[in-house]
Amino acid sequence: MKCKAITLLLLFAATALSAQVKQWTLQECVEYAVEHNLTVAQFELDLENAEIDKSDALGNFLPTLNANTSYSSNTGFSINPTNNLPTNRTQNNVNAGLTTGVTLFDGLRNVHQLNRAKLNAIANQYRLDDLKDDIRLSVANSYLQVLSNKELLKVARAQYQFTEQDLIRTKELVESGVLPRGDLLEIEATAANQQQQIINAEGQVLISRIGLAQLLQITDYDNFDIADQAFDIPPSDILSNTPSSIYAKALEFRNDIKLSQTNVELAEKDLDISKGALLPTLGAFANYGTRYSDVAQLPVPGLPSGSIPQFFTPSFTDQLWIFDGVSFGVQLNVPIFNGFSVRNAIDRSEINVERAKLQLEQEKLDLENIVNQSYVDVNTTFKAYEAAEKTLEARRLAFEYAKERFDVGLMNAFDFSQAQARVDNAAADVVRTKYDYIFRLKILEFYFGMPIVLN
The whole-number average pLDDT for the span 188-202 is 91
pLDDT above 70 for 213 = yes
The amino acid present at 160, given as its one-letter code, is: Y
CA distance 417 to 278: 85
Smallest CA-to-CA distance from 314 within 304, 325, 299 is with: 299
Amino acid 5: pLDDT: 47
Amino acid 2: pLDDT: 46
Greater model confidence, 313 or 271:
271
Delineate the domains of the chain, giving CATH numbers in brackets. 26-62+106-279+335-447 (1.20.1600.10), 74-105+284-334 (no CATH)
- What confidence tier does 307 reach under pLDDT thresholds 50, 70, 90? confident
Torsion-angle region of residue 166: left (phi > 0), alpha (psi -120 to 50) or beta?
alpha
- What confidence tier does 327 reach under pLDDT thresholds 50, 70, 90? very high
Read out DSSP for 2-71? HHHHHHHHHHHHHHHHHTSPEEE-HHHHHHHHHHH-HHHHHHHHHHHHHHHHHHHHHHTTSPEEEEEEEE
CA distance 63 to 328: 14
Residue range 364-423, pLDDT digits in tens? 999 999 999 999 999 999 999 999 999 999 999 998 898 888 777 788 878 888 888 888
Smallest CA-to-CA distance from 133 within 455, 447, 371 is with: 447
- What confidence tier does 350 reach under pLDDT thresholds 50, 70, 90? very high
CA distance 278 to 104: 16
- What confidence tier does 9 reach under pLDDT thresholds 50, 70, 90? very low
Greater model confidence, 338 or 81:
338
Smallest CA-to-CA distance from 372 within 432, 436, 443, 451 is with: 443
Query: Does pTM top 0.85 for this prediction?
Result: no
